[in-house]
Amino acid sequence: MFDPTEFLKQAKQWVENRDQASLRSATSRAYYSLYNATLEYLKTNRKKELIQGIRNENGNSSRPKDLNNKLLKALDRNYLGSIVPMHKVVSDVCHNLRARQFGSQLRTNHEFRKTADYDMDETMDYDEVKMMIKDIDFLLSQLKQKKL
Amino acid sequence: MSQLLQYDLPSGSAGRSRVTSHGSGIVMSQHEFLKDFRNLLYAQYIFWGKNSTGFSDLWEELARLRNNFSHNFGTINYPHNIGESSLKLQNDFIINLPANIQPIFRELKLSNIEASQYLDTVKKFRQYLKKQHIKYSLDENYTSDVEYPDWIQLVITIRIKSNFNKVYSKVKSKIYKILDSTASDNLYQKLIIKIQSH
C-alpha cells in the first residue's frame, strides 16, 4: 500500500523550484498527503466514528440517499465519494473527536488546494506554501503519535 | 434582511403562537420564542455589555415574562414592544455582519448567538493584531465547493503585511486560541481561517 506521506516528500522538493507550477503542485500534493493519511488513520483507528460521520453528513444533506450498509461498512472509496463530500466528512469527524484545530486546518489546507488547482488568477506564494508544508508535517506527526 | 424572523404574537394567545418568517414560514411555540428571546438577550449581554442601552429593562421584562409563562401556561400576554425589541436585537447582529456574509448566514444554520460570536471573534483577531503592531488586512467572505456547492464555509483571510515568516506561527497559535474561546462547535466547523502574506 502506498504511504500518502510520500506525497509530502515530493511537495518539499517541488516547493524549492519556486515556479508557479511547482508551488501549485506542491500545495496540492501536501494537502493530499494530509487528507489521505487522516482518512487512513480514521479507517484504522476510528472506524465507528467515521461511519457515523458519513451517516450524519448524508442525513443532513438536502437530498439524503438510501445507504448501502455493506459498502458503507466496507468503506468502499468509490461508493463513499458518490454519496457524501468525504473531505468535509474527514474534517468534521476530526472536529467531533475534539481535535477542532486539526479539523480546521484540514479545511483551510483543502481551500488552499482548491486555489492551487482551480484558480488560475491567483499567484501562489513561496513562503505561504512553505508554511503550509511545515504545518502539514506537524499534523502528520500528530497522527503518527495517535493524538486523534 | 428578508430571512429575519418576525414575531407576530397576539395578546392572550394560547398554545402555539405563530411566528412568521419570510420564505420559511416557521411556526414557533411560546416556549421556543422565550428561549430564543432569552438567548438573544444573553448574546446582547456578551457582546455589548450589561449596561448597554435598554438592556436592563429588557432583561427585567424577560424575567417577568418567563415567570408569567411558568405560572400561566398558554395565557401569556406579549406586549407588542417585546416583539419589536427582539426583532431589533436580531437586526443588530445581522446588520453588523459584512454585507457579503449576511445572505448566507442563515443558510449556514448559524444562530443569532453565533452571529455575535462571529463578530466577537473578528473583533478579537483585530485587537490582537493591532496590539502586536502587526500590519495586516482582514477579509471576510465565504466559499462553496466546486464539486459540492452545498458545502458553504465562511472564510476569514488575514494577510500579514510584514515579517510573514517571523510572525506566522505566533499569529496562527493565537488566532486558534481566540477561536477556541469565542466560537461554538457549529460556528467553528463552518469557518476557514487563512493566514497569508500580503
What pLDDT digit, counting tens, does each position of B84-141 carry?
555 555 556 666 788 888 888 878 888 878 888 899 999 999 999 999 999 999 999 9
| Chain A contact present for B108, CB below 8 A | no
Q: Is the pLDDT of residue B19 over 90?
A: no
- DSSP bridge partners of B138: B158
**Of the candidates B143, B189, B197, which has its C-beta nearest A111's C-beta?**
B143
pLDDT at res. B78: 43
pLDDT: is B20 or B85 the higher one? B85
Q: Give mean pLDDT, residues B146-160.
A: 89
Which position has the grid cell 517541488? A14
Picking from A84, A106, A108, A118 by the largest number of B CB atoms within 10 A of its own CB, the best residue to mutate is A108
pLDDT at res. B1: 26
- CB contacts < 8 A, A to B, total 52
User: Which three-class secondary structure state does DSSP give residue B191?
Assistant: strand
List CB contacts of B80: < 8 A, sequence separation 6 or more: none
Q: Give mean pLDDT, residues B7-13.
A: 35
Counting Cα atoms < 13 Å in the Cβ hemisphere of B144 gives 10
Is the Cβ pair A131, B143 closer than 8 Å? no
Rounded Cα distance, B132 and B123, in Å: 14
pLDDT: is B147 or A44 the higher one? A44
pTM: 0.75
pLDDT at res. B79: 44
Distance of alpha carbon A141 from the chain centroid: 15
Picking from B159, B168, B187 by the largest number of A CB atoms within 10 A of its own CB, the best residue to mutate is B168
The shortest C-alpha distance from B84 to chain A (Å) reads 33
List CB contacts of A90: < 8 A, sequence separation 6 or more: A35, A38, A39, A42, A50, A53, A106
Is the Cβ pair B146, A104 closer than 8 Å? no
Q: Is the pLDDT of residue B170 over 50?
A: yes
Which segment, A123-127, B54-58, B80-84, B114-118, is predicted with the most confidence on average?
A: A123-127
What are the chain B neighbours of A85 within 8 Å (beta carbons)?
Answer: 145, 147-148, 151
Rounded Cα distance, B156 and B193, in Å: 5
List CB contacts of B177: < 8 A, sequence separation 6 or more: none
Q: Cell numbers at residue A39, please?
A: 482518512
Rounded Cα distance, A84 and A55, in Å: 9
Is the Cβ pair A100, B188 closer than 8 Å? yes
Q: Give mean pLDDT, residues B179-198.
A: 93
User: CB of B182 within 8 A of CB of B156?
Assistant: no
Q: In this structure, are strands B152-160 and B191-197 parallel, antiparallel, or unpaired? A: parallel
Q: In this structure, are strands B19-21 and B136-144 parallel, antiparallel, or unpaired? A: unpaired
* Closest residue in chain B to residue A90, using alpha carbons only: B189
Q: What does residue B98 show for φ and ψ, rounded to 5 degrees?
A: -55, 145
Q: Is the pLDDT of residue B63 over 70?
A: no
pLDDT: is B156 or B66 the higher one? B156
For chain B, helix, strand, coil in percent to 5 are: 50, 15, 35
